Amino acid sequence: MPALQVAIDAFLTAAELFALLFVSPVSATEQPSLARTASAPAYERARALHLVSTSFDVRLLGSLADIRLRREFRNGSATTINLSGYLPVADEYTDALRIHRRGRVFDLLQLGSRCGGGEESNDEDLQADIGGHMQLAVDESIADALQLAPGETALVELIATQSLSRSPGAAYHLALPPLAGIESQALLVDQGDTQFVVIVPHRLASGTGRLTLRPNGAASQNIELGMRSETSSAYIIPLASREALQALASGAIEIETRTPDGIVWSTLPTQVRADASFALAATAK
């Protein structure tokens, strides 16, 4: 995806331009505070940026899964924080990577795709000059989108489309966006015409796994998940009906992971999504 590579290059350039573009020239005495912020321990920077809320959604369209991850951050420090280190990684399956801030929406992938240089000219120097100005404008836009001022909040949204693959038993395998930071959970989805549960194991889980569904008022069901891949992944279990989903929501979902060091067992926290109006269409370019 050329636009994705351009966006990645733009991120790196924007980080280098940040000090020049966004530091106020009012006083030279302000410069050391930025240096101290950049060199502050990681745990101090983590405390300064608070994760206010997170939302994870999946909708199915045939053999494709529409994945949406939203994380809202608040800057609780007295200095501006760069969000670049808190973004999920975009790959070839990513449709959009957006930052919602101050009533504006910045799609970082769209910003990157704008510097393709669509103007035709036989003058190579002119083309290089136009391309350079476009690249600088893109870098400035991305750098601006990534700066979170003190007390400000920003919503980071990732939209991706992945194909489902069949796993052993009654499950389907679903790759998650890299470094998305999705917590271990069971997501019960009522999509209107279909119902299913999305199982996200703990990110450190390995080896083979077994899932146990314990719906309220019905018999439990064991599902072998097979060997877990090294990449971040989830499992999708189709459900028979809306009633089955509701019974499972009031019951329990357990996961057992076998590793070389032993067996890890846990009860997954559950969430229910029942918004039939969820957009299945790909994000408009």
| pLDDT tens-digit map of 193-236 | 899 999 998 877 777 888 999 999 999 999 988 877 666 789 99
**pLDDT level of residue 6 (50, 70, 90 thresholds):** very low
Helix axes 124-146 and 2-22, enclosed angle (nearest 10): 70
Q: Which residue has the higher pLDDT, 175 or 134?
A: 175
Structural domains present in the chain: 2-156 (no CATH), 165-273 (2.60.40)
- Residue 60: which pLDDT band, with cuts at 50, 70 and 90? very high
pLDDT on residue 254: 95
Q: How far apart are CA 190 and CA 194, in angstroms?
A: 6
Determine the pLDDT at residue 112.
Answer: 54
For residue 243, give the H/E element and its range: helix 242-249
Give the type of residue at 102: R
Residue-averaged pLDDT of the chain: 75
What pLDDT does 64 receive? 94
pLDDT of residue 116: 44
Residue 31, pLDDT > 60, answer no
Q: Could you tell me the pTM of the whole model?
A: 0.69
pLDDT confidence bin for 47, thresholds 50/70/90 = low
Instruction: Report the Cα 210 to chain-centroid distance in Å.
Output: 26
Show contacts of 149-153: CB within 8 Å, 24+ apart. Answer: 149/75, 149/80, 150/75, 150/77, 150/78, 150/79, 150/80, 151/74, 151/75, 151/76, 152/74, 152/75, 152/101, 152/102, 153/52, 153/72, 153/73, 153/74, 153/75, 153/101
pLDDT 10s digits, 92-114: 999 999 999 888 888 888 865 54
206's tokens? 């390995």
